[in-house]
């Protein structure tokens, strides 16, 4: 690498682009910010001032060029208003899931103290954002992977957000909350089995448990999670579930076919792709 910061960032961006990193310019600045224990805005300022290249930037760029996720190198992932700690063993929260969390937050409107459950919480991104943006909500979250639970509980403690976090299976979680929940939100694993992601960051670094939906169409686990949501929600409660862009018709259709859901519709993410199904718990028939 060359001696000054501006040249080092330019060279980093070139190397990352050559390695197939789509966001090479942004990542180069983010890695420089991490090496300087500073912010991207400060890096831009220091580049204008002709500051020297920080120690460690070369090694960070080398790792990123080997397609280690940016967030694993910085240890941080921004999600809505929060900065989360992430690393090996936990799914890195995605921008499209910020929209899904927003739908859950919108579903809380009109309640004084909604009971909210996040099934498959990973780093805790959705559950913690709901608690951050709807402070009166009583938020519960469950996650199967012990490693992911450790990241989520670190995030909860660092952020000081009061979320009931448990290790366990989403398909049988929270027996004490059956028919008592106002909003269930979930970003479950939904990639069709056999559809191995092309991006090395996802394929080689996100946990398998976080990716694959357990069937050829990827919907086995989402539908098992939705069945649990149907048990947890009170009549009229709302389910918000993320899905793959190719599941924008199949997931709503599968939910309608169960007879448990009313007002089933699909929502798009900020790139205009089908991303989340929203459904209302249909009234249970009198015994
Ligand atoms: C796609 S990731 C989403 C994580 C987080 N909600 C987010 O949006 O960033 C799916 C998560 O579901 C967890 N998971 C998979 N099967 C589960 C199950 N049966 N019960 C609970 N969690 C499960 C995985 O370990 C992973 O953390």
DSSP characters for 193-225?
TT---S-HHHHHHS-HHHHB-SSTTS-HHHHHH
Q: Is the CB of 187 under 6 A from ligand 1?
A: yes
Largest CA distance in the chain: 76
Beta strand 138-143 pairing with 115-119 = parallel
Do 23 and 146 lie in one domain? The reply is: no
Enclosing domain of residue 34: 5-66
Where does a domain end: 32, 66, 100? 66
Q: Give 114 Cα–ligand 1 centroid separation in angstroms.
A: 22
Question: What DSSP assignment string belongs to 265-280?
Answer: EEEE-TTS-EEEEEEE
Q: Is the CB of 183 under 6 A from ligand 1?
A: no
Q: Are 114 and 134 in contact (CB under 8 A)?
A: yes
Place of tokens 């027996």: 175
> How many degrees, rounded to 5, is the angle at CA 41 between CA 36 and CA 45?
80
Where does a domain end: 66, 88, 109? 66
Domain presence at residue 287: no
Q: Is the CB of 151 under 6 A from ligand 1?
A: no
CATH number for the domain harbouring residue 250: 3.40.50.150
Q: Give 38 Cα–ligand 1 centroid separation in angstroms.
A: 31
Give me the number of domains the chain comprises: 2
Ligand 1: which residue has its CA nearest to atom 14? 120
Do 52 and 81 lie in one domain? The reply is: no
Ligand 1: which residue has its CA nearest to atom 6? 121
Domain presence at residue 110: yes
Do 198 and 120 lie in one domain? The reply is: yes
Q: Residue 50: its pLDDT value, please?
A: 87
Distance of alpha carbon 279 from alpha carbon 122, whole angstroms: 22
> How many degrees, rounded to 5, is the angle at CA 72 between CA 68 and CA 77?
130
Ligand 1: which residue has its CA nearest to atom 24? 210
Distance of alpha carbon 94 from alpha carbon 96, whole angstroms: 5
Beta strand 274-281 pairing with 82-85 = unpaired
Do 134 and 172 lie in one domain? The reply is: yes
Q: Are 4 and 50 in contact (CB under 8 A)?
A: yes
| CB-count exposure of residue 57 (10 Å: 0-12, 13-18, 19+) | buried
Do 147 and 277 lie in one domain? The reply is: yes
Q: Is the CB of 222 under 6 A from ligand 1?
A: no
Q: Residue 6: its pLDDT value, please?
A: 94
Domain presence at residue 286: no
Do 26 and 112 lie in one domain? The reply is: no
Do 62 and 178 lie in one domain? The reply is: no
Q: Give 240 Cα–ligand 1 centroid separation in angstroms.
A: 15
Residue spans of the chain under pLDDT 70: 1-2
Q: Give 201 Cα–ligand 1 centroid separation in angstroms.
A: 17
Ligand 1: which residue has its CA nearest to atom 17? 144
Q: Residue 103: its pLDDT value, please?
A: 98
Q: Is the CB of 126 under 6 A from ligand 1?
A: yes
Domain presence at residue 71: no
Domain presence at residue 41: yes
pLDDT tens across 168-218, in order? 999 999 999 999 999 999 999 999 998 888 889 888 888 999 999 999 999
DSSP state of 91: P
Domain presence at residue 240: yes
Q: Residue 87: its pLDDT value, please?
A: 94
Q: Residue 189: its pLDDT value, please?
A: 98
Q: Is the CB of 71 under 6 A from ligand 1?
A: no
Domain presence at residue 21: yes
Do 129 and 259 lie in one domain? The reply is: yes
Do 38 and 87 lie in one domain? The reply is: no
Where does a domain end: 44, 66, 88? 66
Strand order from edge to edge, sheet including 233-242: 163-167, 138-143, 115-119, 181-186, 233-242, 274-281, 261-268
Q: Are 141 and 166 in contact (CB under 8 A)?
A: yes
Q: Residue 2: its pLDDT value, please?
A: 53
Q: Is the CB of 150 under 6 A from ligand 1?
A: no
Do 10 and 84 lie in one domain? The reply is: no
Do 137 and 37 lie in one domain? The reply is: no
Do 160 and 245 lie in one domain? The reply is: yes
CA 50 to the chain's CA centroid: 37
């Amino acid at each position: 690498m060359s001696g000054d910061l501006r040249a080092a960032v330019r060279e980093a961006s070139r190397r990352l682009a050559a390695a197939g990193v789509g966001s090479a310019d942004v990542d180069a600045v983010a890695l420089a910010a991490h090496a300087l224990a500073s912010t991207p805005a400060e890096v831009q300022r220091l580049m204008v001032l002709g500051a020297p290249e920080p120690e460690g930037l070369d090694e960070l760029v080398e790792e990123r060029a080997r397609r280690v996720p940016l967030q694993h190198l910085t240890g941080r992932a921004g999600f809505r208003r929060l900065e989360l700690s992430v690393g090996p063993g936990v799914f890195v929260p995605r921008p499209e899931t910020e929209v899904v969390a927003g739908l859950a937050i919108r579903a809380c409107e009109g309640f004084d103290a909604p009971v909210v459950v996040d099934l498959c919480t990973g780093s805790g991104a959705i559950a913690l954002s709901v608690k951050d943006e709807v402070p009166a909500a009583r938020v519960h979250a469950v996650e199967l992977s012990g490693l992911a639970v450790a990241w989520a509980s670190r995030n909860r403690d660092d952020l000081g957000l009061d979320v009931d976090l448990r290790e366990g299976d989403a398909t049988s979680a929270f027996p004490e909350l059956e028919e008592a929940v106002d909003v269930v939100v979930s970003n479950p694993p939904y990639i069709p089995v056999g559809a191995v992601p092309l991006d090395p960051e996802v394929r080689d670094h996100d946990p398998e448990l976080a990716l694959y939906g357990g069937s050829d169409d990827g919907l086995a686990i989402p539908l098992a999670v939705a069945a649990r949501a149907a048990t947890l929600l009170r009549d009229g409660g709302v389910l918000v579930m993320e899905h793959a862009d190719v599941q924008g018709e199949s997931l709503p259709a599968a939910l309608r076919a169960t007879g448990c859901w009313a007002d089933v519709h699909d929502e798009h993410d900020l790139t205009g792709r089908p991303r989340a199904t929203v459904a209302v718990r249909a009234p249970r028939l009198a015994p």
